Amino acid sequence: MKTTKLCLLGIAALLVLSGCLTSPKPFYQESDIIVDDRIVGTYGDESDRSQSSTHLYITKDPDYYHKGAYYITVASGSDCSMKFGAILFQIGTNRFLDMVPITTACDHIAANPPSLIELLQTAALQPMHMAVRVDASTNGVKFAFADYLSLLAAAKKFPEYFQPLEPGQLPRMIGDTKRQREFLERFGGGTNVFKAAEVKHEIK
């Protein structure tokens, strides 16, 4: 079976320690969307010795008309997982995934009319878009999440890109796709906001 290489600092560490660059609006325009199926695969962190190690599963959206669309599942153990819909896009020379969590109602099939759970989720949960840098090559795939301290510093230095900071709140970008794209073009390629991964391994 073909193996997929992944460069990571550790999936769990990245998700816990990252600041997560989020916004209520997409980070891309339609013309930014690209397709690169080298990112499809199963990823894990071989250095993770915890009882419930974390894995990433990336699959392509089977719908032909959804260009550059993927599904990402982050799973910890056998009974705990979170699913995202993702769009692969490119700003300048850098590529990113715009990830949006998929909320799943207790009903396995969406109800018509909507169930109470679906109505509550719509009213109470507001999924945010999250930008993650991704680099795919013949040597493997590398992800980079926003670093919390660097993101906080950027929000203070360049407040025009961010919503007003509230005590204890993670920096969140304003709902303006043009501004978000401008931010990614200026800061998405360096290591000052997105921290590069360092550990290589294979998941068969």
The type of residue at 96 is F
Which residues, 6+ apart, have CB-to-CB distance to 151 below 8 Å?
Answer: 19, 21, 170, 171, 193
pTM reported for the whole predicted model: 0.79
Judged by DSSP in three states, 30 sits in helix
CA angle 14, 38, 32 (to 5 degrees): 80
Strand partners, 60: 70
The proportion of the chain whose per-residue pLDDT surpasses 90, expressed as a percent, equals 30
CB 28 within 8 A of CB 177: yes
Of residues 111 and 20, the one with the higher pLDDT is 20
Please write the tens of the pLDDT for every residue from 22-32: 999 999 999 99
For residue 195, is pLDDT > 70?
yes
Residues facing residue 51 across a β-bridge: none
Q: 173 and 160 in contact (C-beta within 8 Å)?
A: no
Report whether pLDDT(50) > 60.
Answer: no
